[in-house]
Amino acid sequence: MKLETFHTLEAVLQTGTFAGAARQGNVTPSAVSMQMKQLEQYLGKPLFDRSGLQARPNQLAHEVADTMRQALQNLESLRAGGGLVVEGVVRLGVIESLQPIVLPGIVRYVRERHPRLDLRLVRGRSSSLTASVKAGEIDAALVAQPASGGSARLRWTPMLRRELVMIAPPAATESNVGSLFRQYDWIRYDRNTVSGAMAAQYVHAHVAEIRGTLEFDSAPAIVAMVSGGLGVSILQGPDPALVQNYPVRLVRLGRAAPVLTLALVTRKGDDDNRSVAAVRDAMRLALAAYQRQQAAGRH
């Protein structure tokens, strides 16, 4: 079994689809599908549920990736010579909603593996952080990737996919999206953001009647308002810690749910930058740990 197959499996889990893994690896989706079938034949067990429109990784797929992840990293270290010291400064931007998810894991990884690497953190919105990467003001940023794919002048590495969900007041009894919109005002997330634009597009395509609208650029503020019975909204799944203080009801949007791609954006000229690569590896590990935690919480 070729090692590239396990890298491809990791890409499928990170991006959520064969097509996403193909874009990340600069190959065709059929090539990704072929590699996954070869891996399934090697293991003698299925790695994906193919009953729906898209193949969905099962628990075994995550277990295989978890088993191989550290081994592949160790092999890469040996290939690089083992004695290479990664040092310098990396200016990393992370959108606020993802900071609790990724920052502890990234900082821990960098301190343990690359103590001479100075990580300087910057916060901001996706648009401003992307512009800062393009201008050379920061080295990398974890941002929401535009539906168009983003600027071709930059390198976009998909890291995480998050389905947008509807949040409703905890006392709401309505059973579907249309009924909730007829009962409550719509509290928009800023339409100038990627997720806000995706939510607006979904509402205009699937909701026939809207009572009224408010618009804010703070997800925590929106969650608090929805918790208080002042409306409904469509957002990324809110932080569980926030929901403990401001309970809301989560409503899945089904097959038509918008899916947000969170990507690490860097300059193409930094493709061989070992400091940036170290941060990319740290981010992958942090997000993989988060996804395992989320999967365990659903079982």
Higher pLDDT, 79 or 296: 296
- At position 214, the amino acid (one-letter code) is L
Reported as a pLDDT band with limits 50, 70 and 90, residue 80 is low
Q: Percentage of the chain surpassing pLDDT 70?
A: 94
Q: What is the mean pLDDT of residues 278-295?
A: 82
Residue 110 Cα to chain centre, angstroms: 20
Q: Note the pLDDT of residue 73.
A: 67
Residues sharing a CB contact under 8 Å with residue 49, sequence separation 6 or more, in sequence order: 55, 56, 57, 58
Q: Which residues of 205-232 are buried (b: 16+ CB within 10 A; e: fewer)?
A: eeeeeeeeeeeeeebeebbebbbeeebb
CA 265, CA 144: separation in Å to the nearest integer?
9
**CATH class, 1-82 region:** mainly alpha
pLDDT in tens, 248-274: 999 999 888 998 889 999 998 998 888
Q: Note the pLDDT of residue 78.
A: 58
Q: Note the pLDDT of residue 79.
A: 56
Residues sharing a CB contact under 8 Å with residue 62, sequence separation 6 or more, in sequence order: 13, 291, 292, 295
Q: Note the pLDDT of residue 100.
A: 84
Name the least confident of 30-44, 48-62, 125-139.
Answer: 48-62
Which numeric CATH code is attached to 163-259?
Answer: 3.40.190.10
**Count of alpha carbons within 13 Å of 183, Cβ hemisphere only?**
16
Q: What is the mean pLDDT of residues 222-231?
A: 95
The domain spans of the chain are 1-82, 163-259
Q: What is the mean pLDDT of residues 6-15?
A: 86
37-51, 104-118, 221-235, 265-279: which is most confident? 221-235
Mean pLDDT, the chain, integer: 87
Reported as a pLDDT band with limits 50, 70 and 90, residue 149 is confident
What is the token pair recorded at 186?
């719509």
pTM surpassing 0.85?
no
Judge whether residue 84 has pLDDT over 70. no
Residue 171 Cα to chain centre, angstroms: 30
CA 62, CA 13: separation in Å to the nearest integer?
8
Judge whether residue 151 has pLDDT over 70. yes
What is the token pair recorded at 148?
């168009």
Q: Note the pLDDT of residue 113.
A: 86
pLDDT in tens, 167-204: 999 999 888 899 999 999 999 999 889 999 999 999 99
